[in-house]
């Protein structure tokens, strides 16, 4: 996607693009999906108008997502509450990004991440942080502007690190949180603190959650994670003291060292549940597994 930021400043251009756009619909924390394929159900402006007229969905906000770099088609998100549902009840034909993330192709995943992240932010920032007055969408959804003092407010993204810890035998250490499904283990992660580098955050989080000092911290990649507003910065790191590993007992309640054969055996036996396919943690584990 080309986010085409230069087009956000012209309301007339945005109206023209909206009229011919493919639109990602977000409502009650969920995305409109095709029933048969679990791909995004991209709507037209006329379909959105029909939904509003039917009063099934309340009138919402539209956000410009950009242009498809292949055919230059415009894409928008439409963020609207459902008339008779809350976050615990899904409108028919709508699923969460977690539910469909593993099914989406690269373009649809980028659209979904952008739409969900923007919508989550707009839903939680209806008022100005400076004076408390109402704010309105501007620049095609990239900004909210205070109706009173005209200050501009930009979407928040929280940085979080995630790290795959290995030892000298090339085993990996995975941890389990109590709130996860039974048997789920994953990499260690945590939010960046003010004045902290990513590398310092890696060292601190691994020590806090697993009691280990780590070295050779290498950057692997990143992934937007709009649950509600994060970006995961992924690393790998080495520890020289695997025997010192222990769960903190609060956030992490269990840990385990795994070789490749042990991981495959536990997954096959159903005693180990890995993170979902769409997550960067799963991609990190799969990368190690195939090395």
Given a cut of 60, whether residue 15 has pLDDT beyond it is yes
- Distance of alpha carbon 288 from its chain centroid, rounded? 22
For the stretch 135-153, pLDDT in tens is: 999 999 999 999 999 999 9
For every residue of 66-124, DSSP letters joined together read EE-TTT--EEEEEE--BTT--TTSPPTTEE-HHHHGGG--HHHHHHHHHHHHHHHHHHH
Structural domain contains residue 137 = no
pLDDT at residue 38 in the model? 81
116 and 207 both lie in a single domain = no
Of 124, 143, 169, the domain-final residue: 124
Of 124, 146, 172, the domain-final residue: 124
Mean pLDDT of the chain: 94
Domain extent for 56:
5-124
Q: Are strands 74-79 and 143-146 parallel, antiparallel or unpaired?
A: unpaired
C-alpha 248/C-alpha 209 separation (Å) is 5
167 and 270 both lie in a single domain = yes
Given a cut of 70, whether residue 79 has pLDDT beyond it is yes
**Contact in structure between 289 and 263 (CB atoms under 8 Å):** yes
What strands, in cross-sheet order, belong to the sheet with 61-67? 61-67, 74-79, 22-27, 30-32, 94-95
Q: What is the CATH number of the domain that holds 35?
A: 3.90.79
Segment 104-125 shows an average pLDDT of 95
36 and 81 both lie in a single domain = yes
Of 76, 98, 124, the domain-final residue: 124
Q: Return the closest-CA partner of residue 22 out of 51, 56, 48.
A: 48
Sequence-separated (6 or more) residues with CB below 8 Å from residue 125: 135, 144, 153
164 and 119 both lie in a single domain = no
For the stretch 213-238, pLDDT in tens is: 999 999 999 999 999 899 999 999 99
pLDDT-derived band at 252, boundaries 50, 70, 90: very high
C-alpha 96/C-alpha 65 separation (Å) is 19
Structural domain contains residue 111 = yes
162 and 258 both lie in a single domain = yes
Segment 42-69 shows an average pLDDT of 92
Give the residue carrying structure tokens 């997550």.
279
**Contact in structure between 173 and 186 (CB atoms under 8 Å):** no
Structural domain contains residue 129 = no
For the stretch 172-205, pLDDT in tens is: 999 999 999 999 999 999 999 999 999 999 999 9
Phi, psi angles (nearest 5°) of residue 229: -155, 50
Given a cut of 70, whether residue 88 has pLDDT beyond it is no
pLDDT at residue 55 in the model? 81
pLDDT-derived band at 57, boundaries 50, 70, 90: confident
pLDDT at residue 221 in the model? 97
- Distance of alpha carbon 242 from its chain centroid, rounded? 31
pLDDT at residue 82 in the model? 79
162 and 283 both lie in a single domain = yes
**Contact in structure between 150 and 135 (CB atoms under 8 Å):** no
C-alpha 63/C-alpha 76 separation (Å) is 5
Given a cut of 90, whether residue 85 has pLDDT beyond it is no
97 and 216 both lie in a single domain = no
Segment 246-260 shows an average pLDDT of 97
Q: What is the CA radius of gyration of the chain?
A: 22
C-alpha 223/C-alpha 189 separation (Å) is 13
Sequence-separated (6 or more) residues with CB below 8 Å from residue 204: 190, 193, 196
Structural domain contains residue 80 = yes
For the stretch 29-53, pLDDT in tens is: 999 999 877 899 999 999 999 998 8
Given a cut of 80, whether residue 23 has pLDDT beyond it is yes
pLDDT at residue 14 in the model? 97
Structural domain contains residue 207 = yes
188 and 99 both lie in a single domain = no
Q: Return the closest-CA partner of residue 157 out of 195, 114, 126.
A: 114
Domains of the chain: total: 2
């Amino acid at each position: 996607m080309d986010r085409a930021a230069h087009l956000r400043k012209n309301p007339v251009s945005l109206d023209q693009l909206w009229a011919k756009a493919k639109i990602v619909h977000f409502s009650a924390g969920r995305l409109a999906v095709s029933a048969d394929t679990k791909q995004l159900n991209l709507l037209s402006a006329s379909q959105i108008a029909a939904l509003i007229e039917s009063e099934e969905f309340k009138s919402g906000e539209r956000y410009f997502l950009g242009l498809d770099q292949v055919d230059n088609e415009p894409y928008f998100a439409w963020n609207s509450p459902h008339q008779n549902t809350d976050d615990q009840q899904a409108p028919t034909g709508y699923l969460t990004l977690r539910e469909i993330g593993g099914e989406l192709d690269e373009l649809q995943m980028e659209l979904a991440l952008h739409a969900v992240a923007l919508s989550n932010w707009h839903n939680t920032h209806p008022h100005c942080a400076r004076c408390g007055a109402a704010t309105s969408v501007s620049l095609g959804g990239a900004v909210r502007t205070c109706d009173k003092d005209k200050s501009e407010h930009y979407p928040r993204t929280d940085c979080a690190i995630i790290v795959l810890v290995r030892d000298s035998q090339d085993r990996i250490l995975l941890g389990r949180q109590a709130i996860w499904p039974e048997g789920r283990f994953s990499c260690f992660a945590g939010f960046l603190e003010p004045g902290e580098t990513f590398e310092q955050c890696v060292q601190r989080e691994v020590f806090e959650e697993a009691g280990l000092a780590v070295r050779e911290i290498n950057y692997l990649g990143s992934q937007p994670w709009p649950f509600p507003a994060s970006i995961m910065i992924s690393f790998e790191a080495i520890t020289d003291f695997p025997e010192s590993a222990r769960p903190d007992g609060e956030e992490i309640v269990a840990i385990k060292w795994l070789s490749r054969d042990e991981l495959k055996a536990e997954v096959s036996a159903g005693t180990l549940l890995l993170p979902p396919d769409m997550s960067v943690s799963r991609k990190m584990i799969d990368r190690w597994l195939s090395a």
